[in-house]
Amino acid sequence: MARQPIFDRDGDVVAYELLFRGSMDAIDAQRRDSFATSQVIVNAFTEFGLDEVAGDRTCFINMTREFLVGDLPLPFGPDHVVLEVLETVTADDELVEGVTALAAAGYRIALDDFVWGAGHERLIPLASYVKLDLLHGVTERIDQIVDACRSRPGLQIVAEGLETPEHVALSDHYGFELRQGYVLSRPQVLTAASLAPSRLHRLELVAALGTADADLEKVITIVAGDPALSMRVLRASNSAAACPATRVSSIRQAVVMLGLEQIRRWAMLMVVDDVAEATQAQMEEALITARLCMNLAPTFDMDPDAAFVAGLITAVAGLLGVTPATLAHHLPLTTELESGLTRGTGPLGRLLRTVEAYQRGDLEALAGRYSCTDLARTVMEAMRWSKTAFPGS
């Protein structure tokens, strides 16, 4: 995805618009549909992390009709996010009702590429921002639009499409509070290695969450059985949608922290988000590592659930081509987990070194301390368990 800074009148960055990009060299969005919005949301909250993307600044995100009327869920709260109503969305009664409900829930609304007479005037009383595209002909009725906006206390105007010094001068003339455009800053494309959950597990999770009395234990089992789902739930628990001050040491804690309703929303969104997946064999290997760490945990006086998470993070980091320390930095882990993964200290560090030594066949490192026969038996159990997560393999 990409982010484009939004500046105030003093030239300070106060917000970012988050934009879909299909590749690193993509200049324009290429698409502004529900897929694009879903991928931006999933990436911002569960791949990069909203704090990495924007820090404490506000994020503007384009919303298609499906999100605005409630057909697709918003898996985040109203803090730090502005919902942009695209100019292509028809402002009928259903849309007005949906936007009214979102505004009542505390979400701030922006009217994107606002043009007088297109029907979006009905939404002005609900909006916190109106975005005027100075590049594409909004200037002929600009006085009428500005007068209508200034009659609403607290409504801010965002001048977008600024590509010339004349556009900046026009913004200054009308006292527009916020500005966005190539003359100030081009969109910055962001990229990160990602691991997508298998479609089967996404659908299985949606099905498990489809009833009012969803089984918490079944949900936890499904999430823990898919490395990518586990990582996204861990990241989501550290996003603005959850409580960033809370630290977790197990998948169960992350699921409980988010709550089944939030998990349901993320699962539905990930079904829309159609990205490339790791192979089934790679997923199984990640689960074997996690389960092996879990099985060996008592030998190191460790909590098995915490050891599972540590093994999972280590394996997923290998799939993404990053270090476990890099991955751990973006997750709300307990001090014990974080120090074990980043510095290799404590019982967790010894456990991970033992598993690594066995996996690379370093029998010398294990000699005199651990029985290779016992370890092999434990590995076989982990392999059998991993097959239950992928019953078709």
Confidence of residue 30 (pLDDT cuts 50, 70, 90): very low
Q: How many CB atoms neighbour CB 230 within 10 A?
A: 26
User: Given a cut of 50, is residue 60 above it in pLDDT?
Assistant: yes
Total residues found in the chain within this entry = 393
- Give, for 257, the enclosing helix (H) or strand (E): helix 251-258
Average pLDDT over residues 287-294: 86
The two tokens of residue 366 are: 């294990």
109 in Cβ contact with 102 (< 8 Å): yes
**Residue-wise DSSP of 310-343:** HHHHHHHHHHHTS-HHHHHHTS-B-HHHHHHHHH
- pTM reported for the whole predicted model: 0.59
pLDDT at position 135 is 84
Residue 276 banded pLDDT, cuts 50, 70, 90: very low
Angle of CA points 246, 248, 253, to nearest 5°? 105
What structural domains does the chain harbor? 2-189 (3.20.20.450), 194-393 (1.10.3210)
Q: Which stretch, 20-34, 57-71, 317-331, 374-388, has highest mean pLDDT?
A: 57-71
CA dist 75 and 255 (Å) reads: 14
| pLDDT bracket for residue 275 (50, 70, 90) | very low
Instruction: Please write the tens of the pLDDT for every residue from 349-385.
Output: 989 988 888 887 776 666 555 666 677 788 888 888 7
H or E element at residue 266: helix 260-272
pLDDT tens profile 161-196 = 999 999 999 999 999 999 999 999 988 887 766 666
Mean per-residue pLDDT over the chain, rounded: 80
pLDDT the model gives residue 110: 96
CA distance 152 to 147: 9
Q: Is the confidence at residue 242, as pLDDT, over 50?
A: no
The whole-number average pLDDT for the span 330-338 is 77
More confident residue, 1 or 341: 341
Amino acid in the structure at residue 92: D
The per-residue pLDDT for 363 is 66
Share of the chain above pLDDT 70, in %: 78
**Residues 215-228: what's their mean pLDDT?**
83
Report pLDDT for 222: 83
| Three-class SS of 180-210 | CCCCCCCCEECCCCCCECCHHHHHHHHHHCC
CA gyration radius, the chain: 24
Query: 82-86, 228-232, 236-240, 295-299 — which is least confidently predicted?
Result: 236-240
216 pLDDT above the threshold of 50 = yes
**What is the average per-residue pLDDT within 20-29?**
52
Distance, CA of 252 to chain centre: 19
For residue 248, give the DSSP letter. B
Dump pLDDT digits (tens) for 115-139: 888 889 999 999 999 999 988 766 6
Residue 392: predicted pLDDT: 47
